[in-house]
Chains A and B, each alone.
Chain A
Amino acid sequence: AQSVAQPEDQVNVAEGNPLTVKCTYSVSGNPYLFWYVQYPNRGLQFLLKYITGDNLVKGSYGFEAEFNKSQTSFHLKKPSALVSDSALYFCAVRDMGGGSYIPTFGRGTSLIVHP
């Protein structure tokens, strides 16, 4: 079975400060990991993914995420937050060894960037 947890419902950060949105996962094999962002009344947009290789993954809009196998985490980061980054962020995991092609999504974390 695969599962993902986003322990924070909401993250508040001041514009210009670094931001982190947390994600931990559980899979029986090795994970495929994804981050998506959702703006109000819109669908989800892909930000970045980890398949294999370098633990630091760079994605769209200056976001990056660090894969940590020992801590089973895949936290999303950005060095300097913008007000326009305010949105709902979803982490998703798919078990590399599983038969299902369907990722499991976290419940989402609302990021609020204050001017």
Chain B
Amino acid sequence: KAGVTQTPRYLIKTRGQQVTLSCSPISGHRSVSWYQQTPGQGLQFLFEYFSETQRNKGNFPGRFSGRQFSNSRSEMNVSTLELGDSALYLCASTMDLQGRVTEAFFGQGTRLTVV
């Protein structure tokens, strides 16, 4: 069974540009979450999508957005990039079975560097 796939693995962008990151969850998983990981802040929750709808949202500015497609694949977009957006962006998928608590499966992440 294939794991969570994130593309690209590495990205270098210039301040003010925008970027789109992609995540393909494990087959059958309908919930996809995005996290930002930085050395100083640890793992910060961005948003979660379930069945193409944003179900939860963290405390990030509106420059950060996402979406989920009918095949559960998800993308996140960051517009008007700032130096502080440099981070490892992690995607996680869960099976999200009603009545069952399931663990998250993480992709390897996309390392974004803003220069």
* B65 CB within 8 Å of chain A: no
Chain A residues near B106 (CB, 8 Å)? 36, 43-45
Per-position contact with B for A40-72: 1 when CB-CB < 8 Å, else 0?
011111100101000000000000000000000
**Contacts A42-B109, A45-B106, A49-B103; A106 near B42 (Cβ below 8 A):** yes
* B56 CB within 8 Å of chain A: yes
Chain A residues near B107 (CB, 8 Å)? 43
Stretch touching chain B among A20-28, A73-81, A94-102: A94-102
**Bound Cα distance A56, B82 (Å):** 45
Chain A residues near B94 (CB, 8 Å)? 101
**Bound Cα distance A42, B41 (Å):** 17
**Bound Cα distance A51, B101 (Å):** 7
B41, B45, B103, B109: the one contacting A43 at CB < 8 Å is B109
Residues of B contacting A: mostly: strand
Chain A, interface size category, equals 20 to 34
Contact at A102–B48, with CB atoms within 8 Å?
yes
Contact at B43–A90, with CB atoms within 8 Å?
yes
Chain B residues near A44 (CB, 8 Å)? 43, 90, 92, 104, 106
Chain B residues near A41 (CB, 8 Å)? 108-109, 111
Please give the distance in Å from B35's CB to the nearest CB on chain A.
8
Chain A residue at minimum C-beta to C-beta distance from B90: A43
* Extra inter-chain contacts (4) besides given A43-B92, A102-B48, CB under 8 Å: A34-B103, A41-B108, A42-B109, A101-B94
Residues of A participating in the B interface, judged by any CB pair closer than 8 Å: 32, 34, 36, 41-46, 49, 51, 90, 94, 100-108
Task: Please name the 9 residue pairs, one residue from A and one from B, whose CB atoms are nearest each other, closest first.
Answer: A43-B106, A107-B42, A105-B43, A44-B106, A46-B103, A43-B108, A102-B56, A32-B101, A43-B107
